[in-house]
Amino acid sequence: MLSNYVLALLLAFVLLGCEQQQPPGAVPHLSVWAHAGQAAERKVLEKQVQRFNVQQDDLRLDLTFIPERTYNAQVQAAAIAGDLPDLLELDGPYIANYAWQGHLVTLDDLLSRAIRADLLPSIVAQGTYRDRLYGVGAFDSGLALYARRDVLDQAEIRIPQHPRGAWTRDEFDALLLSLRDSDEDGAVLDLKLNYPDEWFSYAFSPLIQSAGGDLVRRDDYQSAQGALNSRGAVLAMTALQGWMQQGLVDPNLDDAAFVSGRVALSWAGHWDYPRYKDALGDALALVPLPDFGKGTRTGQGSWVWSITRKCSDPEGAVRFVEFLLQPAEILAITETNGAVPATRSAIALSPAYREGGPLHLFVTQLAEGYAVPRPQTPAYPVISSAFRRAFADIRSGAPVRQVLDDAVVLIDQDIRDNQGYAPVEDP
Amino acid sequence: MTDSIQRRSGPLFAAPALLGLVVFVAVPFALAVVLAFTNLRLGSPLPTEFVGAEQFRRIFAEPAFVRALLNNTLFALVVVPLQTLLALALALLLHQRLKGRAFFRTLFFAPVVFPLSLVAVVWVLIYAPGPEGMMNGFLRAVTFGAWIPRDFLRDPVLALPAIMLTSIWQGAGFQMVILLAGLQGIPGELYEAAAMDGAGRWGQFQHVTLPQLRNTLSFTVLVTSILAFRLFDQVQIMTRGGPRNATTTVMFEAVQASFGRQQVAKGAAMTVVLFLVVLAITGVQRWVARQGREVG
């Protein structure tokens, strides 16, 4: 905790230092904040900024990294203090909140049409709030089941190739039980229960959506009533609770349940592919999440770039975003972080994600409507917080329907308190 | 002349500290009280309005917050006496001329130096579910295999005791050091005199050590009670208030409301309640201590 404050202080000094160094009449500088991801990812972004700066003679970018775990809290604090940078990286589902607060400019008139048309539909969907685009990312994320092909073959379980052929609910229940029979500790499924906070909304709301429920009603985002406590949601969460209570799910404290062979199935994101591939080689299969009635659904959304309202040169800022969306630059970052490239032209050049590539399933899910963006409403932080708590309660055996009803009350009260999150006129 | 200089220099010397108190304690607290009566939301473009006691009505209607108050109280009732007794026992033990005394003092004080977050993470691993978990393994060994492995941190009954144990392990060393200092301050003549009067070891402890340690003990009890009501780090890292609010605390709820759900006013109302509780405890303890002194 303390180290964060020290870091923030240091950061403040660095920023102050930068501002003072700038001589009058020099090339305009734009400040850029990004989340500090893996070291390799940071290095790529630093190089990208350098390359961009070399190309431009009338613009320079100053890049600052902010620790990932406290990123949103720090950006929110800066927003309140009126100290946002010109260009900002945001976690996808938070866009609506920042846009509603009036901190972002829309990219609709800024981003070139050719690039926009090239984007995966999921990127546009997550970046849109009230029909306007406020953020685009260079990559998207994907969620699927990783499976041990040899174990499934031995149990004579079919391996779906396409989201259309996803395992049905009955099939999935049956295969968990049949896998258990030949498993040492009876736990055959990894749900990444070791992950923090946002994972739960990201990973398990798709199951609710597949069963016909949702986190919130998407027609007007005014209530979670009949969505988060709908029959579908109760069904999905009851199934999850059942798996956990029957001991089918590995608690996975060491994050090694799948690679060490304790489980045959891992409910995980695209980012685990390199590690899993190294451990399993050709025995690794990628399978869509189970279909609970309305077709399989999957998570999506990742870090996106947004331009703030205080940006002195939005055209210049969007030039950087467009620079990052060139196929070569997209691949530079996605080959480092393993994420799904954001444009079709970059996907075609990616050995892992192009047609026939081992991770093409993620592209199919994102491009063919199997991915659902997390609710694009300013209420999202509250929704996610309520759902996370509900999940924890359900995990420890609480009655599902009641827990979900309580979460609905919490969410609806927040929406009412904020007058329905109606658009606020410019201050 | 010198009198007037002294009269003036006194406040002058106190000024920096007073300024610090005002800026960092009084003003934020006054702000929290004011905010608790509004509907302020973090970053909201909507205007902030006064809503009277609405936030207080809401938090007391929230099962999670009521449970948090209860948990804090239960935590204090269990941890304060146990931790104080343990610390006193350790202090008495290490006050004697043992071989390797410095080593043991360092050993027992070490957990205090570790960051709480680190301690919490280590204890999460100790409480790991399944037979491979260290605590499960230990209990299995001492019960000759009768213990059935439990998921301590997700067990509605065991989660809070698990956090209590971690806290006692972490906090006892601090109290021990303070009590040691208190023990060292007791003049040896008192013991000699007591021995002359025929007091045994128990008699000496009862009639010399305890009365002499009164102030030190009441200080450690007070500090531990306040820390018990501020319980946060362990909960945040080990259980996130779960399962089903079994380990949630007032601080945890306040942070969740303010930063997780951006409801700053609600968080402020919770901290005001917390402040009043701590104030009441301090008052009661001072009163008890004064009563004791008057009698003694």
Per-residue pLDDT reduced to its tens digit, A373-427: 999 999 998 999 899 989 988 998 889 999 999 999 999 999 998 889 988 765 4
B44:A101 CB<8 A: yes
Domain residue ranges in chain B: 62-295
Give the gap in angstroms from C-alpha A381 to the nearest C-alpha of chain B. Answer: 6
Nearest CB to A392 within list B45, B128, B243: B243
CATH superfamily, with its number, for domain A143-296+376-421: Periplasmic binding protein-like II (3.40.190.10)
B240:A392 CB<8 A: yes
What gap in Å lies between CA B83 and CA B222, rounded to an integer? 12
Name B203's Cβ contacts closer than 8 Å, sequence gap at least 6.
B194
Q: Does B258 touch chain A (CB under 8 A)?
A: no
pLDDT at position A70 is 81
In three-state secondary structure terms, A140 is strand
A97:B43 CB<8 A: yes
- Among chain A, residues having any CB pair with chain B shorter than 8 Å are 1, 73, 76, 79-80, 97, 100-102, 185, 251, 253, 381-382, 385-386, 389, 392-393, 395-398, 414, 417-419, 424, 427
Q: Identify all chain A residues contacting B122, using CB atoms and an 8 Å cutoff.
A: none
Q: How far is CA A122 from the centre of its chain?
A: 11
A396:B154 CB<8 A: yes
pLDDT at position A20 is 45
Give the gap in angstroms from C-alpha A78 to the nearest C-alpha of chain B. Answer: 10
What gap in Å lies between CA A264 and CA A179, rounded to an integer? 8
Closest CA to B169 of B235, B251, B87, B226: B87
Strand ranges inside A92-196, DSSP E: 128-129, 132-133, 139-140, 143-148, 189-190
Pairing between strand A189-190 and A143-148?
Answer: unpaired
Spell out, as residue ranges, where chain B has pLDDT lower than 70.
1-2, 292-296
Nearest CB to B46 within list A76, A382, A418: A418
- pLDDT tens track for A106-132: 999 999 999 999 999 999 999 999 999
Pairing between strand A284-287 and A143-148?
Answer: antiparallel
A427:B45 CB<8 A: yes
pLDDT at position A91 is 92
Confidence of residue A6 (pLDDT cuts 50, 70, 90): very low
CATH fit for domain A2-141+301-367, picks 4.10.220.20, 3.40.50.2000, 3.40.50.970, 3.40.190.10: 3.40.190.10
Name B194's Cβ contacts closer than 8 Å, sequence gap at least 6.
B203, B204, B207, B208
**Mean pLDDT over the full length of chain A:** 90
Nearest CB to B39 within list A80, A97, A417: A417
Q: Identify all chain B residues contacting A419, using CB atoms and an 8 Å cutoff.
A: 46
Overall residue count recorded for chain B in this entry: 296
Name B291's Cβ contacts closer than 8 Å, sequence gap at least 6.
none
Q: Does B113 touch chain A (CB under 8 A)?
A: no
Cis peptide upstream of residue B243 (ω within 30 degrees of 0) = yes
B125:A253 CB<8 A: yes
| CATH fold match for the domains A2-141+301-367 and A143-296+376-421 | yes
B242:A389 CB<8 A: yes
Sign of torsion over alpha carbons B126, B128, B129, B133: negative
- pLDDT tens track for A236-261: 999 999 999 999 999 887 888 999 99
User: How far lies B134's CA from each of A39, A248, A253, B123, in Å?
Assistant: 33, 22, 13, 9
What gap in Å lies between CA B229 and CA B251, rounded to an integer? 8
Residue A115, token pair as written in the block: 């690039």
Nearest CB to B42 within list A76, A385, A424: A76
pLDDT at position B244 is 82
Alpha-carbon radius of gyration of chain A: 22
Q: Identify all chain B residues contacting A194, using CB atoms and an 8 Å cutoff.
A: none
Name B187's Cβ contacts closer than 8 Å, sequence gap at least 6.
none
Alpha-carbon radius of gyration of chain B: 24
Torsion angle (degrees, nearest 10) of CA A307, A309, A310, A312: 60
- pLDDT tens track for A261-305: 999 999 999 999 999 999 999 999 999 999 999 999 999 999 999
A398:B125 CB<8 A: no
Residue A128, token pair as written in the block: 């849109």
Residues B222 and B150: beta-carbon distance below 8 Å: no
Give the residues across from A64 on adjacent strands: A33
**Architecture of the B62-295 domain:** Orthogonal Bundle (1.10)
What gap in Å lies between CA A32 and CA A60, rounded to an integer? 10
Residue B34, token pair as written in the block: 């004011």
Confidence of residue A18 (pLDDT cuts 50, 70, 90): very low
Give the gap in angstroms from C-alpha A380 to the nearest C-alpha of chain B. Answer: 9
The owner of tokens 């309520």 is A386
Q: Using CB atoms and an 8 Å cut-off, which of residues 217-246 of chain B contact chain A?
A: 240-244
Residues A390 and A407: beta-carbon distance below 8 Å: yes
Residue B66, token pair as written in the block: 């009521």
Name A27's Cβ contacts closer than 8 Å, sequence gap at least 6.
A57, A58, A59, A60
Query: Lowest-confidence range among A7-16, A155-164, A399-408, B212-221?
Result: A7-16
Domain residue ranges in chain A: 2-141+301-367, 143-296+376-421
Q: Does B11 touch chain A (CB under 8 A)?
A: no
pLDDT at position B2 is 63
Confidence of residue A364 (pLDDT cuts 50, 70, 90): very high
What gap in Å lies between CA B227 and CA B231, rounded to an integer? 6
Sign of torsion over alpha carbons B234, B236, B237, B240: positive
Nearest CB to B242 within list A80, A385, A393: A393
